Structure 1
């Protein structure tokens, strides 16, 4: 029996004494049409649960498939995702690299544990987005970040001009250790959010406007000038002390993007694009909720990232 999208058909398969004959119509020992198998895989990658996939297939062709069968099909992705994750990166130079981590739940030794998913994306020399790789590891730490960077370097990644990320201390240390001569750009959006959180909730509207003005300036000189105006205006008010301290401490790391061409600045001042990608991964992860093991997490997230890398490849340059 061969299950196809139009239903189940019965095939009479010729057998030879040597057993070396195999029809080209379908794979040997296959019970489902290859097109139907690919459709089921596509549904899983796009965030459809295995239970819903079985219901869709039953409505589509009148035949049921088990959840375990759908789950086993996803293992076909392993060699594809593994090959993609190990592909060489020395074919071009990536001047701008973005890194971030998100957390997922995985079953391990009969327990549910939290694991970090490290994702790295980049902008190429011809100003197109791409995805460099991912890693599923334990909690976010200096050692884990350094290991991730060493993997990327072993595949041919050269020291970029700028690495954009949030202000995780272990991540900053790993960047300094792994990439000589690379500057670190602290995410502009995260930084402003950190400052606003430390402002008084009442009567701070003017201060908020002044902070926004700093990061909307078109020259470094204006940014520093507006910053000094803010610091001088509120330096004697204790309720602004924490916010001003945060601004002063992280200011230089947050304006590194200003040293690069104006047309690219809007794309390299924050990790917003990478966070949107993380949200797409999260949307599919929410369907599963708890991954059965680390390999299944790597498989699904890798397949999602491969889809988006293909989309990035087809898009035009960020800079016109």
Structure 2
């Protein structure tokens, strides 16, 4: 699995109880095909709930992806870091835009929103990689400098966990528009939620899962896959080697102490006479 999208949506399915979350996972495999990965109910979106959900996916054969895309829920982020520590994490830019704009007065919202999205709309000649990440991070600094005095709360919102906003720029450029947010799955589940409001409450967990699964399964059949070009596949393979198969350290004897130290394979290995 190259990309894994995670989201939680709330439904009422217990009598005399508040809406409870349904946790969903959807991915893009190495061939670029969309895969509906898993669905489950939970009492909350706590770290324990998400960790149990992700652990269950792993037990059923899900390998650690290259990139996990989600909103910024603390429980979800913590669970991803504990169960998929080798994966990179992209924070949904649409969720972050909503968080930021909630702190902006209506008369300034359009200008601030345009400035926010301009951070991530890089020129066509920018190649994916750490240079692209650096450029976007510099733009975040420029945004903060411009708006800090007027809207300090919005700037603090942007700077919080800022590194996770630009991770997608390390991946193939053709994938950028679709891996920088998790909104598509939220829109699909949101439509289900609107339909459920008509009946007020689902009769139980089983019926809730059955309905949401049917909607997502049907919707996923119409989701477009990702184009995997030779250059894109090479980039993904390089990222996988870097993240999941880092170079091992080689022992080296220190000529002064006659003890072994470690060096990476890219460093010259000195030998004693």
**SS state of the match for residue 79, structure 2?**
helix
Shift, 1:284, TM fit: 4.1
Match for residue 107 of structure 1?
14
Could you tell me whether the CA contact under 8 Å between 1:114 and 1:138 is conserved in 2? no
Could you tell me whether the CA contact under 8 Å between 1:96 and 1:161 is conserved in 2? yes
**SS state of the match for residue 291, structure 1?**
coil
Q: Which runs of 5+ in 2 are unaligned?
A: 124-131, 229-273
Shift, 1:307, TM fit: 2.4
Distance 1:210-1:291 versus aligned 2 partners, 3 A rule: closer
**Per-residue Cα deviation, 1:2-36 (whole angstroms, up to 9, x for no partner):** xxxxxxxxxxxxxxxxxxxxxxxxxxxxxxxxxxx
Match for residue 247 of structure 1?
158
From the CA coordinates, give the structure whose radius of gyration is larger: 1
Does residue 118 in structure 1 map to residue 1 in structure 2?
no
Aligned length: 220
Distance 1:292-1:162 versus aligned 2 partners, 3 A rule: same
Match for residue 4 of structure 2?
97
Alignment of 1:77-226 (within 5 A): 94-108=1-15, 111-203=16-108, 206-218=111-123, 219-226=132-139
**Per-residue Cα deviation, 1:103-133 (whole angstroms, up to 9, x for no partner):** 111134xx34422111111111121222101
Match of 1:271 among 166, 182, 189: 182
Match of 1:295 among 186, 203, 206: 206
TM-score, normalised on structure 2?
Answer: 0.73
Distance 1:234-1:160 versus aligned 2 partners, 3 A rule: same
**Per-residue Cα deviation, 1:238-269 (whole angstroms, up to 9, x for no partner):** x3211111112232111110010101111110
- Work out the CA distance in 1 between the residues paired with 2:52 and 2:115: 40
Shift, 1:288, TM fit: 3.4
TM-score, normalised on structure 1?
Answer: 0.63
Could you tell me whether the CA contact under 8 Å between 1:214 and 1:226 is conserved in 2? yes
Shift, 1:206, TM fit: 4.5
- Work out the CA distance in 1 between the residues paired with 2:40 and 2:211: 12
- Work out the CA distance in 2 between the residues paired with 1:204 and 1:296: 41
Shift, 1:223, TM fit: 1.7
Distance 1:251-1:307 versus aligned 2 partners, 3 A rule: same
- Work out the CA distance in 1 between the residues paired with 2:105 and 2:212: 40
- Work out the CA distance in 2 between the residues paired with 1:241 and 1:283: 35
